Amino acid sequence: MAKCSLAVSVPDRAPDEVMETEMAIVGGGICGILAAKMCGDRRWPYVLVERREELGGVWNTLANNHSYLQASVAYEPNYRWDKNYRLNQDELTKGSGAATQQTLKRFAYDHCVDKFTRFSTEVLTVRHRPDGLVDACLILPPESSHAHSFLTICKNLKTGKITHIVSQFMMISPGILTTQCSAEDRGVKDVDKFKNTMCYAGKHNGVDSANVVILGTGSFALEAMEAAGRNNAKHITLVSRPRKRWVCPFSRQYTVTALCFAPFLPWNLKIKFVHWYLRRKYFNPVGLKHMPPTGELHEQDWSGQCNDGLFRLAAEGRLDVLVGQVDRLEAKDVVVKTTDNAEGVKVPADMFVVASGCHYNLNPPFLQELGIGFDDIHNYCFMGRNPRIGTASDFVFAFVPAGPLSQLEMFFHAVEQIKLGREREVFNAMYPTPLGATGKTNHTGGRMAGLHTFFASRSWLSRTNIASELRTAAYISVMEIGQSLPMRMALRVGAYVAEWHRFFVCVRRSARELWGFPIWGKGVKDHYHPPAPLLVGPSKKA
């Protein structure tokens, strides 16, 4: 991994405080909160370090009043961590970002996570203890507890107080998404010439604007599109780079997934049928026939973004999609170069919204002394080859079965086995599982992409796609450590049954979609529902 200088300086002085604990958790987003709760359930001492003044992660930093946790197969299952803290009314309804944030915080405070959290505290660096004689990221350490210890050096951003945290295990969950990409990052020229309103997706609560131009067609962009539609925008223009991913109708998310998981059909036949169906029923009738990707099937994938508003607004004549690149800004116009017009098309814009993705934090500065980062993942949950360092983030748990809970279960099971003296077995079960969104592997597509395509399967008998099979195999390889033969067999049978169960659940929900939300005229019946207040048990904290 490429090295670079530390972004933050580490004070060369005695700490103001030294703490010893079992588990150090870096990051107070959903994965950090769940990891803390798992420690509490096991009565393991832990310390959670959070840079901000509150828990919640990206729901604090990137979400806004227009953000929604979609109840799609790509998003909402990742947040099913407790039936008493529901985030959506049902699997076909969107839940607001505000409700997600509120429920996540209630969960954290109800389980006393805040009492073991160091807020407004930044991790400067993580080191092996001075008496650790080997680099645990490269080779298996000797059987000495001191050689496994980590020293986490932290700084309180308000007081400047330096704290040293000594722990036997670490869960790294600082989040992968950082700042949103700027217009300049995307090669837009003359940004300072624009005289009307310009904002980043997720950071503007919306005003009435006659013409809104949005750079991007991902999650933030389509949320901004819906917000503009609800705020009486006369016309909305999305500017999309040539895509390798599809935007799936929200009201056909389970229908498409049921076809993806259907056995007894070759994957290339399934994907061809879905392409035909979506083009004929959704994209073509509303004038978006140029939007879907072209090219070979193995180059295409399915975005985690599912949206009905795209088709409804296009059917109403309020939305256009230009495939190309924003070249420059003028006083009141956005100039877009398209495949049909290399000179550039001038699009009037009362508001220009930049929603073209976020920067990735693949190599957090505080991990540089250990020589590891998020581009070095083993079994989808270990950072580097050290079974004592787990990792969790939105970037990672999209690649494990059933969201972050399975990822955390793998790591915490490994910790339990290490405590029983089976560290070498855990180490031997680990193998590299690089993530696809870095662009450095054979994965294609974006953050939610799997191996090859969403539909690709090993054979026509497969009950799921290749990516899911690989994730399940990685999960089993860790979870069966220390188990008896009957338990190992039960684990494998359970995984087999779960694949069929997931398929039939998708079929059942597909029937609900097809019955409840039929296509009408041009486009689709938009089944957006403003989320009702979520009724959960009273918080233990006033």
Tens of pLDDT, residues 208-217: 578 999 999 8
**pLDDT surpasses 70 at 270:** yes
pLDDT at 361 over 50: yes
Measured between alpha carbons, how far is 280 from 275 in angstroms, rounded to an integer? Answer: 8
How far, CA to CA in Å, does 231 sit from each of 228, 234, 317? 5, 9, 16
Residue 291 to residue 330: CA distance in whole angstroms: 26
pLDDT of residue 400: 58
State yes or no: pLDDT of 257 exceeds 50.
Answer: yes
Q: Is the pLDDT of residue 168 over 90?
A: yes
Q: How many CB atoms lie within 10 A of CB 430?
A: 20
Determine the Cα angle at 446 with ends 309 and 325, to 5°.
70
Scan for tokens 């994730």, then name that residue: 471
pLDDT score of 203: 55
Mean pLDDT for all residues in the chain: 80
- Of 125 and 63, the one with more pLDDT: 125
Domains and CATH numbers, the chain: 19-176+361-416 (3.50.50.60)
Is it the case that residue 435 has pLDDT exceeding 90?
no
Point out the least confidently predicted range of 53-62, 126-135, 164-173, 176-185.
126-135
- Phi, psi dihedrals of residue 337, rounded to the nearest 5°: -90, 125
421: number of Cβ within 10 Å: 10
pLDDT at residue 521 greater than cutoff 80: no
Q: Which of 104-118, 188-202, 203-217, 485-499 is predicted least confidently?
A: 203-217
Which of 68-77, 166-175, 312-321 is predicted with the least confidence, judged by mean pLDDT?
68-77
The reported pLDDT for the residue numbered 179 is 80
Is the pLDDT higher at 494 or at 5?
Answer: 494
Mean pLDDT along residues 326-331: 94
Instruction: Please compute the mean of the pLDDT values over residues 280-284 and round it to a whole number.
Output: 91
> What percent of the chain lies above the pLDDT cut of 90?
39
What mean pLDDT do residues 199-206 have? Answer: 63
pLDDT of residue 424: 92
> What is the predicted pLDDT for the residue at 66?
66
pLDDT at 202: 55
pLDDT at 531: 44
Interval 354-362 mean pLDDT: 83
Rg (CA), the chain: 24
How far, in Å, CA of 443 to CA of 445, rounded? 7
DSSP3 helix / strand / coil % (the chain, rounded to 5): 35, 20, 45
Instruction: Examine the pLDDT at 403 and tell me if it is beyond 80.
Output: no
If phi > 0 it is left, if psi is from -120 to 50 it is alpha, else beta; for residue 523 that is left
Dihedral of CA 373/377/381/382: which sign? negative
Q: What is the percent of the chain with per-residue pLDDT over 70, rounded to a whole number? A: 79
The stretch 379-390 carries a mean pLDDT of 89
Cβ atoms 24, 45 nearer than 8 A: no
According to the per-residue pLDDT averaged within each range, which of 187-196, 201-210, 292-301, 302-311 is highest?
Answer: 187-196
What pLDDT shows up at residue 223? 83
Average pLDDT over residues 342-357: 89
142 pLDDT above the threshold of 70: no
Residues 306-340 as b or e (16 or more Cβ within 10 Å = b): bbbbbbbbbbeebbbbbbbbbbbbeeebbbbbbee
- Helix residue ranges, H only, 382-463: 394-397, 404-419, 423-429
Q: What is the pLDDT of residues 445-503, one digit of tens each?
A: 333 344 456 787 778 878 787 777 878 888 899 999 999 999 999 999 998 898 888 88
Question: How much is the average pLDDT of 177-199?
Answer: 89
The confidence score (pLDDT) of residue 534 equals 43
135 vs 460, more confident = 460
Nearest to 153 by CA among 365, 360, 361, 2: 365
Predicted pLDDT at 51: 93
Q: Which pLDDT tens digit goes with each residue over 9-68?
A: 787 778 899 999 999 999 998 899 999 999 999 999 999 999 999 998 877 777 766 666
Average of per-residue pLDDT across 381-406: 76
The model's confidence at residue 71, banded by pLDDT at 50, 70 and 90, is very low
pLDDT at 320: 94
pLDDT of residue 146: 41
User: Which pLDDT score is estimated for 486?
Assistant: 94
Comparing 52 with 396, the larger pLDDT belongs to 52
pLDDT band at 401 (very low <50, low <70, confident <90, very high): low
